[in-house]
Amino acid sequence: MGQGEFADIAVDLPLTGLLTYKVPEELRGRIGPGSIVRVPLRRSEINGVVISLHGKPSSTEPKEVLGLLEESPLFTEKEMEWYRWASRYYFQPLGRVLFAGIGFLPGPRGKGRRRPPDPFPDEGEGPRKTIPQLTEGQRQALERIEPAICESKFETFLLWGVTASGKTEVYLRAIQVALECGKEAIVLVPEISLTDQLVTELRGRFGRRVALLHSKLSRGERAEMWLRVHRGEIPVVVGARSAVFAPCHNLGLIVVDEEHDGAYKQEEGFRYNARDMALMRGKIMGFPVILGSATPSLETYYNARRGKICLLELPERPEGRGPTEVQVVDLRRRGRKVRARGIISPPLHQAMAETLERGEQVLLFLNRRGFATFLICEDCGYTFRCRNCAVSLVHHLSEGALMCHYCGWKHPAPPLCPSCGGPGVRDLGIGTEAVELAVRELFPWARVLRMDKDTTTRKHAHREILRAWRRGEAHILIGTQMIAKGHHVPNVTLVGIILADSTLNLPDFRASERTYQLLIQVAGRAGRGRRPGRVIVQSYEPDHPAIAFCPSQDYEAFASRELRLRKRASYPPYSRLVLMRVSAPREDWAAKAATLLGDVAKRICGEKDEVLCLGPSPAPIAKLKGRFRWQLLLKSPSRPRLREAVESILREASGKMPPRARLAVDVDPQSFL
């Protein structure tokens, strides 16, 4: 520990610099870089992280540190280097980045701490009796990964395998190598709903040496898990994106499963991408990172083909299982023949009946929750919109309410139009609730489960639904992207994709890529056992490449086409992007702030080579949670040039923003809404 009289401390506030405090006599020698302390700020007390100690006197006498919350520093030198990189790369205050890594506020030692019950009390502790034999592809992949783990060498591996090709077994064997070398491992998954099955797999192999970290745990559970990992008691961590900050101080491996998934990007506050944070953590601390996907992001695929990432292919499913048959149903030609509220086409209806008759299970996918996507008055054209956001309200039949999926505002569903007073209010569009109703009409005897955000609000609800599904307690599971990836249920032989076009027309250059990835992922839930699988894709745009490439499941052909389009338009991976967004509670304030920002950005970009400024313009969702939003996009093939431009814009524009206007910087944006 350091002996300095003064400490520079980072706090969880939007401050560009550090705050200096005096270290009281009784704490000298106990406080060092990485220690978490309690400090006064104005009329309150907050937590802070010590960055450095020094003996330089301040021009004004600083206030004293009030107390030390943890005797041992929470961060090592290398970890502090990683957090500093993240602060610079994402243009975020260091304190904000560090407290994202802590994830909770620890209490004083020995006071009020008790170990909460295990979140997975019914999981087995011992190793599985049978461990599957490796395929040739799995064996070759492990032969490349193992030396990097044992030699503490940074290397990025793309484990690219068709769905059900055995990527999880490669992860498990690689983790075993890390443990045998006395090291730790982190496994990241994009959705909390995927952690349950993976924890079961990990605990089946490694017993109780597995920790779970994600936002749905209680405060006590998270604190206990975090501290046990920090103390080195649990060497394997699994969780969603925030688990990338797990305090493993002797890491040997990070696995990023479904690396292409947009859920790895934090969209508010500290806007990091967990996949990229994992890669940089490996580079700084010296260990390999495995990126796994059947449909890798085009950026990752491009880098693998250029040799910047080591490509490991798993082209076949174990035990000789063949590819799943995919059939596209053109809804344009079906007209009124589409059964049950215009949702289930005759081919899908027939396939469901045949599958259920054989005693097999059916999975139905639609990436929209609720009953109807919006309500409209057929008499006057009035649409029901959120009062806080510039979006339509979604009709939730079970609650008898209209709901905003962005801010959560609810309004009772009216029988009459509030504009003309007429009875012509009609539902348009469909959601998972409507699919459930249609399925119950067609198969009233079938046991049906629905898994979406509405049915999983209760703690552990997603686990209960999935376990019931895996045990065969339901014939049909309906859901959103929660059910699209990672789940292994051998008795599922039919997947129906209700409306494949729902994400195609978003104002986003990645819309086609994301649609294709999602369809291939959900198609991979069928035929994972010994019986062949079948997938029926319903679409109004069957000729769109994202749909047309699905039957062949030819990712390389799809990727080649998309990359040609990206190169022509100078989008990633051929350029870097930074999205700058201003928001304000009044429309004129937001427009004024955007104009000011745009003037500064265009002048600075005009002075810089290779940096293009697009905008400003209103965001596609122009009002969100009561704030009006404008944005501009910076593009450049040169990361250093782009960074210089952003730094210059922030220096000049930040102090000139109108009152109550906010400026947010999103590096490598994943959403443009």
| Fold equal for 136-319 and 321-368+445-565 | yes
Average of per-residue pLDDT across 16-33: 88
How far apart, in whole angstroms, are the C-alpha atoms of residue 515 and residue 505? 10
Query: 127: how many CB neighbours lie within 10 A of its CB?
Result: 12
Q: Check whether 128 has a pLDDT greater than 90.
A: no
Average of per-residue pLDDT across 345-374: 89
Tens digits of per-residue pLDDT, 300-323? 999 999 999 999 999 877 665 666
More confident: 461 or 186: 186
H or E, element range at 394: strand 394-396
Q: What is the mean pLDDT of the chain?
A: 87
Provide CB contacts within 8 A for 508, sequence distance 6+. 514, 671, 672, 673
pLDDT of residue 486: 67
Instruction: Write down the CATH number for the domain with range 136-319.
Output: 3.40.50.300
Tokens, residue 106: 């620890």
pLDDT of residue 73: 83
How far apart, in whole angstroms, are the C-alpha atoms of residue 470 and residue 487? 9
Tens digits of per-residue pLDDT, 237-279? 999 999 999 999 999 999 999 999 999 999 988 999 999 999 9
pLDDT of residue 369: 75
Stated pTM of the model: 0.91
pLDDT of residue 110: 38
State in words which class domain 6-102 has: alpha beta
More confident: 359 or 324: 359
Task: State the pLDDT confidence band at 4, using cuts at 50, 70 and 90.
Answer: confident
Average of per-residue pLDDT across 515-521: 91
Q: How many residues does the chain have?
A: 673
Q: Beta partners for 583?
A: 629, 662
Average of per-residue pLDDT across 280-295: 96
CB 579 within 8 A of CB 672: yes
pLDDT of residue 657: 85
More confident: 331 or 182: 182
User: Half-sphere exposure of 141 toward its Cβ, with a 13 Å CA cutoff?
Assistant: 29
Is 321-368+445-565 assigned to CATH 3.40.50.300? Answer: yes
Tokens, residue 517: 């990835």
H or E, element range at 68: strand 67-68
CB 219 within 8 A of CB 263: no
* Cα distance between the two ends of the chain: 47
For the chain, the domains span: 6-102, 136-319, 321-368+445-565, 372-429, 576-667
Task: State the pLDDT confidence band at 418, using cuts at 50, 70 and 90.
Answer: confident
CB 316 within 8 A of CB 135: yes
To 5 degrees, how large is the angle CA 168–CA 303–CA 154? Answer: 65
Tens digits of per-residue pLDDT, 27-46? 888 888 888 899 998 888 99
Tens digits of per-residue pLDDT, 84-125? 999 999 999 999 999 888 866 554 443 434 444 454 444 444
Q: Check whether 339 has a pLDDT greater than 80.
A: no
The DSSP 8-state label assigned to residue 134 in this structure reads: P
Tokens, residue 25: 């006599």
The amino acid present at 332, given as its one-letter code, is R
Tell the CATH topology of 576-667: Alpha-Beta Plaits (3.30.70)
